[in-house]
Amino acid sequence: MTDAVRVEHLKKFYGNIKAVEDISFKVEKGEIFALLGPNGAGKTTTIRCLCSLTKPDAGLLEIEGISVIEKPKQARALMGYVAQEIALDKILTGKELLELQSGIYHMPRSSAQARITELINLLDLQDYQDRRTGTYSGGLRRRLDLATGLLHYPKVLILDEPTVGLDIESRKIIWSLLTKIAGDGTTVLLSSHYLEEVDALANRLVIIDKGTVIASGSPTELKQKVGGDRITLKIREFSPLEEVEKAKNILKELPFVEDAIINNAQGNSLNLVINSQTNALSRIEQSLTGNDFPIFSIAQSRPSLDDVYLAATGQTLLDAEIKSSASRDLKLEKKMQMK
């Protein structure tokens, strides 16, 4: 069976910057597949290459078995694309914009009107369809943008950060729609840095960091691979690394501790992987206090996708986001100073 989406050894460079170093994945027909990673990981570049908006430096890209590089027009006809940045004509009403879009797709008027009505109802836009889009909230604009991507019945819907910055109501409506269309046979490929979104929606995913795939599988598989429960603790609010290293060595001697990672970005906190122990917290506390270590905070939880990312990179997804944002701000500041 032909894969709905196929990406093999994709590479894209902007001068000396490696936006995508080596990314490969396959998406089966009718599944929701996610690209998870912080901003700057290479998700948007991968999607833009797949949509023929950016030319890759190397790699194979296919939509329903059709090469995006060799036959971009045919490949584009099979996909719907919803970009991260929403671009709508502010003068047109929501319904007028969908009618304009249907004309661009060369849809027959009768079938276009039926489809527009269907999407307006699915996305709960009935009360807003005759209002100018310039008056829409961010959530309404995103819903309308999603409707334009679905208008022509694409076999593959590609979304770049579809719910970033949206209110809870709009996110739930979009999640419900994506689940429905996938159930009806439409393949959905989305990028996100929201852990709960990927965990709730995706059948499978790849986690991307610095332009490469660091993990792949279903959310359940990936969480099972990183082992048992998690315990996160801090010796002090901001602990010296040397002190945390000593505490780490002591705790690793406990028979139920399978791994210990120091998270430098969060004040040198300790992240422990433990096997099943009902009294793990009390035993850890006893071990630390018995060796004259204070405890600022301690908590136990089930493994999450963030733990998968932490195990692979040594930092959480939030930490990576913060670093990426700080790096962008620094580059922008330097550019302003040069001017």
3-class DSSP state of 73: helix
DSSP secondary structure letter of residue 132: B
For 147-186, the pLDDT digits (tens) are 999 999 999 999 999 988 888 888 888 999 999 999 999 9
pTM of this prediction exceeds 0.95? no
The pLDDT assigned to 218 comes to: 94
Dist CA 327 CA 322 (whole Å): 9
Using the Cα atoms of residue 163, residue 13, residue 155 and residue 93 in order, give the sign of their dihedral: positive
Structural domains of the chain ordered from first start:
5-222 (3.40.50.300), 227-302 (3.30.70.100)
264: phi then psi, degrees, rounded to nearest 5: -65, -35
In tens digits, what is the pLDDT along the chain, a chain of 339 residues?
689 999 999 999 998 888 999 999 999 999 999 999 888 899 999 999 999 999 999 999 999 999 999 999 999 999 999 998 888 889 999 999 999 999 999 999 889 999 999 999 999 999 999 999 999 998 899 999 999 999 999 999 999 999 888 888 888 889 999 999 999 999 999 998 888 899 999 999 999 999 999 999 999 999 888 777 889 999 998 889 999 999 999 999 999 998 898 988 788 999 898 887 678 899 999 999 999 999 999 998 888 888 888 878 877 887 777 776 655 545 545 555 555
Count of CB atoms situated within 10 Å of the CB of 55: 11
The pLDDT assigned to 86 comes to: 83
Write out the two tokens for 314.
Answer: 């040594």
DSSP secondary structure letter of residue 93: B
Dist CA 313 CA 214 (whole Å): 9
The helix (run of H) or strand (run of E) holding residue 21 is strand 17-27
Do the beta carbons of residue 163 and residue 171 sit within 8 Å?
Answer: yes
CA neighbor of 155 nearest in space, from 54, 52, 76: 76
Chain centroid to CA 306: 12
Distance spanning both ends of the chain, measured CA to CA: 55
212 conformational bin, left if phi > 0, alpha if psi -120 to 50, beta if neither: beta
DSSP per-residue string spanning 254-313: STTEEEEEEEGGGTSEEEEEE-S-TTHHHHHHHHHHHTT---SEEEEE---HHHHHHHHH
The pLDDT assigned to 325 comes to: 61
The pLDDT assigned to 167 comes to: 83
For residue 5, what are the CA distances in angstroms to 37, 49, 60, 208? 19, 12, 11, 17
The pLDDT assigned to 277 comes to: 67
